Homo-oligomer: A and B are copies of this chain.
Amino acid sequence: MFKLLKNSLKSRARLAVLTTIHGRIKTPFFMPIATKGAVKNLFPDELESLGASIILSNTYHLYLQPGLTVLKKHGGLHRLMGWSGPILTDSGGFQVFSLSNIRKIVPQGVEFRSHIDGSKHLLTPKKILEIQSVIGSDIVMILDICPSAKDNKKKVAEAVTITTNWARQAKRANNKLKRGQLMFGIVQGGVYRDLRLKSLAELIEIGFDGYAIGGLAVGESSQEMYQVLDYLTPEMPANKPRYLMGVGTPENIIEAVKRGVDMFDCVIPTREARHGRLYIRKNKGLEDGFYQTVNITNAKFKNDTKPINDSNLKDYSRAYLHHLFKTKEPLALRLATLNNLHFYLTLMSDIRQAIKNKKL
């Protein structure tokens, strides 16, 4: 269930509550990434402390490792990883095409060889739902084809056609899901207005619990992304959640929220943490310059006794984190991840507050 609480008068931003099997989530929200069943370096209780209300995992990865037997034995991903909140699982369509060298679209779905051991697999729209039923995902994504930013319009059009076909098959197979699991369709169409609108219209006709916008943040400019949102979100059902997959920078998120998007996920906070790049909030606003990124491995932090941040990491200095990176101590990654996820999750809470206060 998706309950709209407020529509902004200043933009198309909105506040809502999405109800899932494992709890209610205030939108707009950001999902930390636990691709293989673990958020990098963090335990579930730490994610909760950070304010994460939902996490994202991946059907393709979990299907290959640890596999369905292990997932079944644990009664699903929640118990396996010890996270009791909502989980969204991406279908893995994107991963089949980005990780597997050998894959082929066949009438039933997609055939591929595992990037881990070369074993051969066939994923169908129905099978993807069955796997996500075993995983126990609160939000299930259907199998789609995500074209590359380099693909021409013909390729992108083909991807839309197949994605719609698969969406119909998924809808017919939705009895494979557990009671309460929400199923989202994925709009494709690259940066082509007609294809995007066609894809969306077809998915709406089929009918889903929410609509994701896939195939963005794959190499196009931020302006192109905003343009797609400009014409796409007004056509999306107002009473269903909208999910912009794999996005993005803090600016991308704010701009997308203004265009009516409710849900986000991105590797940025965890991936950048690995490289020592920290997101630092400069003021409580959301206007230009409200944050900066710094590379903590830079020599200028060697003697910096200021705290990493003034919130969840006020007891650790920047000099200490610099030292931990320089000496390759694994604690460095934990601290940097805690900083960046705190930044992203606080950003979302500030965005919700700004919509509430009529500032966004």
Closest-by-CB residue of B relative to A73 is B305
Given contacts A36-B329, A315-B82, A329-B36, contact A323 B70 (CB under 8 A): yes
Which of B65, B324, B327, B331 sits near A323, CB closer than 8 Å? B65
B42 and A331 form a contact (CB under 8 A): yes
A70 and B303 form a contact (CB under 8 A): yes
Interface of chain A residues 18 through 73 with chain B (CB within 8 A): 36-43, 61, 65-66, 69-70, 73
A330 and B327 form a contact (CB under 8 A): no
CB distance from A95 to the nearest CB of B (A): 13
Q: Is A286 an interface residue (CB 8 A)?
A: no
State in angstroms the CA–CA spacing of A238 and B143 once bound together: 73
Q: Is A320 an interface residue (CB 8 A)?
A: yes
Given contacts A70-B302, A330-B333, A331-B42, contact A320 B65 (CB under 8 A): no
CB distance from A252 to the nearest CB of B (A): 27
Given contacts A66-B323, A303-B70, contact A80 B317 (CB under 8 A): yes
Scan A290-321; emit 1 where CB is below 8 A from any B CB, else 0.
Answer: 00000000000011010000000001110110
- If over half of A's interface residues share one DSSP class (helix, strand or loop), that class is named, otherwise mixed; here it is loop
B73 and A319 form a contact (CB under 8 A): yes
B319 and A74 form a contact (CB under 8 A): yes
State in angstroms the CA–CA spacing of A42 and B324 once bound together: 12
Chain A interface residue count: which class?
35 or more
Q: Is A326 an interface residue (CB 8 A)?
A: yes
Q: Is A81 an interface residue (CB 8 A)?
A: yes
Which of B69, B74, B329 sits near A38, CB closer than 8 Å? B329
Scan A226-266; emit 1 where CB is below 8 A from any B CB, else 0.
Answer: 00000000000000000000000000000000000000000
Q: Is A334 an interface residue (CB 8 A)?
A: yes
CB distance from A290 to the nearest CB of B (A): 28
CB distance from A71 to the nearest CB of B (A): 10
Provide the residues of chain B in CB contact with A74, threshold 8 Å.
305, 317, 319-320
State in angstroms the CA–CA spacing of A330 and B329 once bound together: 12
